[in-house]
Amino acid sequence: MRVRARHVTGALVGLLLPLTTMAQEWPAPIQALEAQGLTIHDAFDAPAGMTGYAASAQGREVAIYLTEDGEHAIVGNMVDAEGNNLSEDPLQEIVRGPQEERIWQDLHDSAWVADGSDDADRVIYMFSDTHCPYCQEFWEASRAWVEAGHVQIRHILVGILDRESPRQAMTILEADEPAELLDRHHRGKPIDWLETIRPAMEDRVYGNQQLMESLGLVATPGLIYHVDGQLEMTQGIPEDMATVMGSPQPAGGLDDD
């Protein structure tokens, strides 16, 4: 059965350890909300004599507004007379932005294999298993963008679908030319899989799986990329490749040579 794409952007915030300011004495209504499970990240300026607080709860960013007398707090977005959401920018700057930067750094620090040009306009991190048919399908569908130099896919190899998956992932990561070996695998060419694996590389593959789980991904391929400066995450085969790849499909495609 085909795995449909599932967008889980909102789940990105709060899946990793929260980024908080140094411990400080919040006003009593803010402390009460903190005691109920909200993480208070920082305060920000707000209209009408109120003070805003950027918070997060259960993977969602939350705006709180403390009344001028300091005795009451209102939870939710504030809008102006034109209907503009005045909470969006502070939450992006204080909560979502730093969290997304941290996630992107964790992805960069994982064990991955680059597929495509280092000068590509878009970088996509992809959790991939050598026994995943949908990873193969996405690899084939992405060839036009990759071969045109528009996209670089960074395959974060995991071993979750078959007993041979971990050893095959480690073989590719251990190779002198891992990108070439990954390409051979996707083109169905024979590969001499390693018989002996270094413990350090085993730890790297296991670390990839832990990172995948921390992001709430349960199946491959798991794709993480930026759209308009914000992090997006898609699980499964994307229904709209152009959105994920950042542009309409260029001319060209899979080269079987």
- C-alpha span between 151 and 160 (Å, rounded): 26
Identify the DSSP state of 16.
S
The pTM of this model reads 0.80
The answer to whether 205 touches 157, Cβ cutoff 8 Å, is yes
For the chain, 257 residues long, give each residue's pLDDT as a single digit of tens.
Answer: 334 454 554 445 444 444 444 446 899 999 999 999 999 999 999 999 999 999 998 778 999 999 999 999 999 999 999 999 999 999 989 998 999 999 999 999 999 999 999 999 999 999 999 999 999 999 999 999 999 999 999 999 999 999 999 999 999 999 999 999 999 999 999 999 988 888 888 999 999 999 999 999 999 999 999 998 889 999 999 999 999 999 999 986 655 55
- C-alpha span between 146 and 206 (Å, rounded): 27
- C-alpha span between 75 and 48 (Å, rounded): 16
The answer to whether 207 touches 111, Cβ cutoff 8 Å, is yes
| Alpha helical stretches, state H, 41-142 | 88-91, 97-108, 133-141
Domains of the chain: 16-99 (3.10.450.70), 110-245 (3.40.30.10)
The answer to whether 98 touches 19, Cβ cutoff 8 Å, is yes
